[in-house]
Structure 1
């Protein structure tokens, strides 16, 4: 089954590199990346399309894995970093610090993103567990929606006070793969650390899926597993926000696609989520370039158009099942 996700990733990368205002073919893309001679197409691919493709690969993998970890630890099929306010919390931390202190180096932005993502997740879980019956899928989603709305409103208010408000507001509300290509060089260690923690968390997730009592009887340390999971989600979501902004719905859609194709075993579904996260983000970015040509729609807008109806249908289906 690994051949299907890998083939999809390669196809998405090829489309992302070849499709744009001036379409190219695979031979031209190969030439531009590996043996450039300085032609207009070489410059277009190397300076514009290839960097945003790399951002899409990194951000897509982060969002896909963070989404499946979030759903696994909350046991909530409609949870994802964006819906739980984690992405917007990371964005708010960066925007607030930039507003107060001016331009910041990438590593400082990364640290702020991780702090904002962690703070948002702690607030969401604290509010969700404060309900009478403890944390439930409904209370966590409602708490996440409140935190996301609060952080999004503050981001908007701060961005509108900035001298470059329009571009700043657009990026920090919906995200883009084109705005910050330089960040990937600084972010790859954090992405690698987040993915490593996610892999180490797979065994615990499989036992937690059987219930906490069963997991304890099998020797799983639940506090350690939760801490590792939250750390992985924070690193992955914070890295994705730093590179591409607060892209929502990728973390919601991808886990369902992965589980539908490879099953519920996290040993297969976590790698599949990384692969399909890359595919979804790159295809959404490519579609945005085609739909609004000669301009483009941000990847966050395209994913919102796809993800919002899916979220409504999923929530409706879950409600009908529980009635």
Structure 2
């Protein structure tokens, strides 16, 4: 497992500023590089001096800029969700997927495509978001009803069980209604279909989910020391957990509804940020947002270059990075707690 190191406030701030600058440069490159290469000067003009008569400006404004911004927000949301979950459960292998968010969203989406094929993009997006929420509620309810209350292990088991059940039902419906092709790219994770409507949905979710995460950051730091320690300090753990789960639901639900099943971002980034900025979640959560955004922007860029002019699902790129990282964590921690 990665060793945790502590840094001064100034060094933490410097690291985040550098990462933010690299993120901005990466967004510029993501917009510039594609089937047709567009100069960075043209990207600048299209963003700040848009001319609808120029074709490249239209391509940037309608296609490439929304995609780059979606990658930024989705990466940030998944990473923050992972940080919150790992802090609450004290489990280094925890990630939003154990709450059944992805499978719940996929289930709602396949239901929508099967029975309401003419529904709009925003309608299907909200349907998948609702599906993610319902899955989380079911997982949380089942885990809480068991003897001894909700624990990290029970949460994981309930999430896997519900997720597997929803995934199986989704597959059967997709096969029956011949939706495999429509669902395939979404399940692999991708940003090709994003638009300004996607940005609006993500920004609305971020305003609530990120504020919740930042608000409880200090409490998550205390909770990560152990529930007994947090309780002895007078902290209402159940309230913090409920707010944390709500934050994860909103952020991950919005991200999955837009980009599909992009895996491992919520697992990898929190460990990297803890290694860089220490164990204070007042630093881990905002740092995770920056590094998560950077990881997904770069992954999306690679997904378009690795087999150009064809596009590789971005989820495949993050999995190539995440699977070895997951195996390393599983081996070094034994799946135990932080």
Instruction: Kindly provide the CA deviation profile for residues 55-78 of structure 1, in whole angstroms up to 9, marking residues without a partner as x.
Output: 112211111111111111222111
Q: Is the 8 A contact 2:139 2:158 kept in 1?
A: yes
Within the candidate set 34, 51, 66, 1:20 is matched to 34
The answer to whether residue 196 in structure 2 is matched with residue 184 in structure 1 is: no
Q: Mean alpha-carbon deviation: is it higher for 244-253 or for 24-33?
A: 24-33
Question: CA offset at residue 152 of structure 1?
Answer: 2.9
Counterpart position of 2:48: 34
Q: Is the 8 A contact 2:91 2:336 kept in 1?
A: no
Q: 1:239 to 1:159 in 2, by over 3 A?
A: same
Question: CA offset at residue 299 of structure 1?
Answer: 0.9
In the superposition, the TM-score normalised over structure 2's length comes to 0.85
Question: CA offset at residue 137 of structure 1?
Answer: 5.3
Q: Mean alpha-carbon deviation: is it higher for 145-154 or for 50-59?
A: 145-154
Number of residues of Structure 1 aligned to a counterpart in Structure 2: 321
In the superposition, the TM-score normalised over structure 1's length comes to 0.89
Within the candidate set 266, 274, 295, 2:289 is matched to 274
> 1 CA distance for matches of 2:245 and 2:251?
10
Counterpart position of 1:284: 299
Gaps of 5+ in 2: 1-12
Question: CA offset at residue 186 of structure 1?
Answer: 3.5
1:1-323 superposed matches below 5 A: 1=13, 2-37=16-51, 38-105=53-120, 108-109=123-124, 111-125=126-140, 140-162=155-177, 165-166=180-181, 168-181=182-195, 182-319=197-334
> 2 CA distance for matches of 1:224 and 1:205?
11
Q: Is the 8 A contact 1:171 1:179 kept in 2?
A: no
Q: Is the 8 A contact 2:66 2:194 kept in 1?
A: no
Q: Is the 8 A contact 2:126 2:257 kept in 1?
A: no
> 1 CA distance for matches of 2:66 and 2:173?
28
Counterpart position of 2:6: none
> 2 CA distance for matches of 1:312 and 1:220?
34
Question: CA offset at residue 136 of structure 1?
Answer: 5.9
Q: Mean alpha-carbon deviation: is it higher for 185-194 or for 265-274?
A: 185-194
> 2 CA distance for matches of 1:207 and 1:320?
21
Instruction: Kindly provide the CA deviation profile for residues 225-252 of structure 1, in whole angstroms up to 9, marking residues without a partner as x.
Output: 1111111111001111222112111111
Q: Is the 8 A contact 1:106 1:183 kept in 2?
A: no
What RMSD, in angstroms, separates the aligned Cα atoms of the two structures?
2.6
Gaps of 5+ in 1: none
Instruction: Kindly provide the CA deviation profile for residues 60-119 of structure 1, in whole angstroms up to 9, marking residues without a partner as x.
Output: 111111111111122211111124422221221232234223344566545533433233
Q: Is the 8 A contact 1:83 1:249 kept in 2?
A: no
> 2 CA distance for matches of 1:272 and 1:262?
8
